[in-house]
Amino acid sequence: MKEEKERIRAYIWKLLEERGVARFPKPISGRIPNFVGAEEAAEKLSEQEEWKEASVIFVSPDSPQRHVRYLGLVQGKLVIMATPRLRERFLLLDPKGIPITRYSEASTISGAFKYGKKILEVPKIDLKVTGSVAVDREGGRVGKGHGYSDLEYGILGEIGAIDGRTPVATTVHDLQIVERVPMEPQDMPVYLIVTPSRVIRTGKFGNPRILWELITQDIEREIPLIRYLRGEFLKGSDA
């Protein structure tokens, strides 16, 4: 299954480059690829009911989702981001505390650190928006291969910020939709796929939780929040 996911990633990275729709930062290999039309996909996402009904949105720090973060601020939503590799908890961007002329800067990773607030207690999230390398019409998703989005999904579930009815959306290029993505138990599915030209509702919800048997010592060392939650998990097991 892991080999099949890697094959899909390599295929999409090559395809986007060959079709001329890959954008900075490059090379896109090894990344959530930025693409021509990312802003149009973000605008189309903002027209959906799941977005309109959301007051708090969680958006990945990936390049193609920058305009998603910007639109969230412009429309008065609380925007929450994971810090890269989850090393420094989460960032809360409150548009009320950011000058309007700085919304564009605040939607970048460096700007989010400048204008955002690091938090551990995350408010209830109405919509989670993620970056993807490839997706399928049944809700399958594959990221760049490090597992941070899936882990963050589990963490948010463990701390009560999301649950099994929280929709997950992704903005991608049409070329990133494939026939099938193999899914493992820890993988985060997507409910809503938005491209520059169309909207696909897969109807797929996940079960946001941490599969502790998959958490290695290396992961615990790298992510302090995992160590904290592991302690809470063990305390609950002893109760």
Strands (E), 43-151: 56-59, 78-82, 90-93, 117-119, 127-130, 134-136, 141-142
Q: Which residues 6+ apart lie within 8 Å of 215 measured at CB?
A: 226, 230
Which pLDDT score, from 0 to 100, does residue 146 have? 82
Per-residue pLDDT of the chain (239 residues; tens, 9 = 90+): 889 999 999 999 999 999 999 999 999 999 999 999 999 999 999 999 999 999 999 999 999 999 999 999 999 999 999 887 777 789 999 999 999 999 999 999 999 999 999 998 899 999 999 999 999 999 999 999 888 889 999 999 999 999 999 999 999 999 999 999 999 998 999 999 999 999 999 999 999 999 989 888 888 888 888 888 877 655 555 44
Which pLDDT score, from 0 to 100, does residue 239 have? 43
Q: What is the pTM of this model?
A: 0.93
Report the alpha-carbon distance of residue 54 to residue 76 in Å, rounded: 10
Instruction: Transcribe 104-131 into DSSP letters.
Output: HHHTSHHHHHHH-EEESSPPPPSEEEE-
Place of tokens 């305390």: 235
Q: Which residues 6+ apart lie within 8 Å of 108 measured at CB?
A: 66
Which pLDDT score, from 0 to 100, does residue 220 have? 87
Which pLDDT score, from 0 to 100, does residue 95 have? 98
Which pLDDT score, from 0 to 100, does residue 236 have? 52
**Rounded alpha-carbon distances, angstroms, from residue 194 to 34, 44, 229:** 14, 7, 33
Report the alpha-carbon distance of residue 162 to residue 146 in Å, rounded: 22
**Rounded alpha-carbon distances, angstroms, from residue 184 to 5, 113, 211, 226:** 11, 33, 11, 20
181, 220 contact by CB (below 8 A): no
Q: Which residues 6+ apart lie within 8 Å of 219 measured at CB?
A: 151, 226
Closest CA to 88 of 108, 64, 117: 117
Q: For the chain, list the domains and their CATH numbers.
A: 2-213 (3.40.50.10420)
Q: E strand or H helix at 171, and its extent?
A: strand 168-171
What are 169's strand-pairing partners? 129, 192
Which pLDDT score, from 0 to 100, does residue 227 have? 83
